[in-house]
Amino acid sequence: MNEKLLTKRRYKDGDNRHLPWQEEIFVADTSHKCPTYIHRTPPCQGSCPAGEDIRGWLNIVRGIEKPPGELPWQEYAFSRVVEANPFPAIMGRVCPAPCEDGCNRNEVEDHVGINSVEQFIGDYALEHNLKLHPAGEDTGKKVALIGSGVASLACAYQLRRMGHACTVIEAHEELGGMMRYGIPGYRIPREVLDSEIQRILDLGVEIRNNTKVGVDISLDELKAEYDAVFIGLGAQSGAALPVPGGDAPNCISGIAFLEAFNDGRLKHSAKNVLVIGGGDTAMDVAAVARRLGHIETQREHDRPENVILGHVEHDVATVAQREGAEVTIVYRRLVSMMPAIKMEIEHVTQEGVKIRDSLAPVEVIIGDDGRAKALRVIEADWSTGKMVVKEGSEIDIECDLIVAAVGQVGDLTGLESLDNGWGLIDADGFYRVKSHSDLFVGGDVIKPHLLTTAIGHGSIAAEGIDRYMAGEDPSRRPKVDVHHFNLLEKLRETDHAPAEYPHVQDWGTDQADFAVHNFEDRSFAEIVPSDQLFLGHFPYQARHKRKESEITADKVLGYFGERIKGLSEEDAVKEADRCMSCGICFECDNCVIYCPQDAIFRVKKTDSTIGRYVDTDYAKCIGCHICEDVCPSGYIRMGLGE
């Protein structure tokens, strides 16, 4: 715990400088400014590539925002999550949570465990068979989606909500893309994956599996049959190790290794495995290799590379003969510079994987049998911030299998005209393929990144496709491009919708039933920073962390159960309660309590809802700014007098 974080003061000792002149507006204790209520985006949501209304569903879990009617809060929270992300049980498990890095609570003691609460919501939804938002009224338009990863499935989900028919075209037998073939099943349990995909299919999404675009059907044929095409191929081809000897038969890609494991062909690995790279794929390969172990006496065709390349399949009977594998990750940078999730680095280390950093591959050493027998590396010095190799420091690391997790590209067979030269496809800000107004694209085939990034691509692309099929130009995207809380929608949901505006010039609109008084929505343009919150309001509260199974080096062989256990309902609520509700009121009453003029008052319970909990009597307000100073969430800003 950082003790310094627990002291939060507006002003420091000796701070006697005046404010900027435009803010030096006080006469004694009064000013011409009065409070207004400003809705802004919290940094967690601004950091979420899928744009989830994180603050919104956390406030539902903690009981601040009430569900309509008799709807259970768990179901209401789920409905809010899946406005943006139809895979909460999956993302709650594997997303590296950039939202938590952005969380303003980090300035108090520790971030809110957003992922853990999302997993609870997702698991509750699966357990209670909750459905996604329904499909819209049929528009007569048809969209083909190439690939069945999260980008295509998220796009299909949003398109079905708009009423467009969708057909997902997948080269594999099963759906899921990298969720199924690139991430081990002990991180995404297959029953969770299948259930969350099925919810999307239940909206009426058609599937054409075992069909490869560019081979079984051409892109031109799809364009002729459908009104628009979305390309969500992913980047499921791994880059080769770019050093002499890197094409040896037992030098394979991390993507190929994980696909062979995830589709059940690979039952054991090699005795000495070297994994090259520092990303999440490298961590997954290393963890799987430790779990698979090796067979001491194996036939020629049972070598892992023959299975991975699709020549044979391991016999299940050999599993009983497995022994532990020595697995080493080789990374050219420092461990602290690894892009992999910190937790995954810690996990593989606990499981007995060795990490040798600051070693750059130079050459694969080939044995008499034509296979790799060692990797030659050279030491790298990063003290200057750039890699400087140490001449004469080469060493050979013996191995039986080299797995290169050093990059990914898309398989653009039949789509070569769209290749940007890097095995990927270029897109504009609306996720249209450049120079192709009827083609849209999303996910790793643009640039390999996070699953949650692909979900965001699919959602934005769906809006672009909808406008394209309506014959409209894409609309300008907001500066803060996320799924925003909408006060008017909330007022309608709670039967507090404003009356119809009579379109006449009027005075005294603070009392008018057609106006939403003293509320300004800046969420499309502004993210609320921590220095505009009253952090002193928040006491120290330890994070409610998910429990983990203890998997040590001597227990990892053959262990394929989930490592992380989900929160209980009680802990999920307590963890959500740590949210500071940045950018919108969470009904703490500070402004009501501390207003010296009793100018701020609670809205009647019959008229109150989230974002409309307090109001101001401007006949009493003297503009003292106290309400702004004590507002923990940064919802109150002084204005209305300028």
Separation CA 585–CA 37 (nearest Å): 9
Q: What is the mean pLDDT of residues 252-278?
A: 92
Separation CA 135–CA 157 (nearest Å): 8
Answer whether residue 508 shows pLDDT above 80: no
Which pLDDT score is estimated for 414?
Answer: 87
- Of the candidate ranges 3-7, 78-82, 164-168, 298-302, the one whose mean pLDDT is the lowest: 3-7
Q: How far apart are the first and last CA of the chain?
A: 43
> pLDDT over 90 for what percent of the chain?
76
Separation CA 177–CA 171 (nearest Å): 10
C-beta of residue 321 within 8 angstroms of C-beta of residue 293: no
Which pLDDT score is estimated for 639?
Answer: 83
| Per-residue CA distances from 534 to 14, 64, 284, 539 (Å) | 20, 19, 41, 12
Which pLDDT score is estimated for 330?
Answer: 97
Which pLDDT score is estimated for 475?
Answer: 83
Which pLDDT score is estimated for 317?
Answer: 47
Query: Could you tell me the pLDDT band of residue 501, with boundaries at 50, 70 and 90?
Result: confident
Answer whether residue 327 shows pLDDT above 50: yes
User: Could you tell me the residue ranges of all domains in the chain?
Assistant: 20-129+484-639, 142-237+410-469, 238-406
**More confident position, 583 or 513:** 583
Which pLDDT score is estimated for 407?
Answer: 84
Q: 126 Cβ partners below 8 Å, 6+ apart?
A: 89, 192, 195, 196
**More confident position, 274 or 24:** 274
Over the chain, what is the mean pLDDT? 91
The string of pLDDT tens digits covering residues 482-496 is: 999 999 999 999 888
Which pLDDT score is estimated for 315?
Answer: 54
Q: What is the mean pLDDT of residues 118-137?
A: 98
Q: What is the mean pLDDT of residues 269-284?
A: 95
Which pLDDT score is estimated for 5?
Answer: 61
CA dihedral sign of residues 322, 326, 331, 336: positive
**More confident position, 570 or 69:** 570
Separation CA 255–CA 215 (nearest Å): 22
Answer whether residue 297 shows pLDDT above 60: no
What token pair was written down for 611?
């974002």
Partnered with residue 527 across adjacent β-strands are 41
Answer whether residue 312 shows pLDDT above 60: no
Query: Could you tell me the pLDDT band of residue 103, with boundaries at 50, 70 and 90?
Result: very high
Residue 402 is inside which H or E element, if any? strand 401-404
Query: Could you tell me the pLDDT band of residue 157, with boundaries at 50, 70 and 90?
Result: very high
Record the pTM: 0.91
The string of pLDDT tens digits covering residues 376-416 is: 999 999 999 999 999 999 999 999 999 999 988 888 988 99
Report which of 460, 418, 425 is spatially closest to residue 446, judged by C-alpha positions. 425
- Of the candidate ranges 22-26, 187-191, 503-507, 576-580, the one whose mean pLDDT is the lowest: 22-26
Partnered with residue 388 across adjacent β-strands are 381
- Of the candidate ranges 204-213, 500-509, 567-576, the one whose mean pLDDT is the lowest: 500-509
What token pair was written down for 61?
């879990």
Report which of 41, 24, 152, 82 is spatially closest to residue 581, judged by C-alpha positions. 41
**More confident position, 77 or 609:** 77
* CATH class, range 142-237+410-469: alpha beta
Report which of 262, 273, 263, 348 is spatially closest to residue 304, judged by C-alpha positions. 273
Q: What is the mean pLDDT of residues 533-541?
A: 93
Which pLDDT score is estimated for 310?
Answer: 64
**More confident position, 268 or 314:** 268
Which pLDDT score is estimated for 301?
Answer: 61
Q: What is the mean pLDDT of residues 313-322?
A: 54
Most confident of 189-198, 485-494, 555-564: 189-198
Q: Hey, do 142-237+410-469 and 238-406 end up sharing a CATH topology, with the first three levels equal?
A: yes
Separation CA 574–CA 569 (nearest Å): 9
Q: What is the DSSP string of 434-453?
A: TT-TTEEE-GGGTS---HHH
Separation CA 5–CA 579 (nearest Å): 16
Separation CA 327–CA 304 (nearest Å): 14
What token pair was written down for 554?
């001597």
- The CATH architecture to which 238-406 belongs is 3-Layer(bba) Sandwich (3.50)
φ and ψ of 281, to 5 deg: -60, -40
Q: What is the mean pLDDT of residues 136-149?
A: 97
Answer whether residue 229 shows pLDDT above 80: yes
CB neighbourhood size of 296 (10 A)? 9
The string of pLDDT tens digits covering residues 54-93 is: 999 999 999 999 999 899 999 999 999 999 999 999 999 9
Q: 27 Cβ partners below 8 Å, 6+ apart?
A: none
Q: What is the mean pLDDT of residues 171-185?
A: 94
φ and ψ of 313, to 5 deg: -135, 140
C-beta of residue 537 within 8 angstroms of C-beta of residue 632: yes
Which pLDDT score is estimated for 48?
Answer: 96
- Of the candidate ranges 278-287, 303-312, 571-580, 591-600, the one whose mean pLDDT is the lowest: 303-312
φ and ψ of 276, to 5 deg: -105, 120
Separation CA 338–CA 357 (nearest Å): 9
Query: Could you tell me the pLDDT band of residue 319, with boundaries at 50, 70 and 90?
Result: low
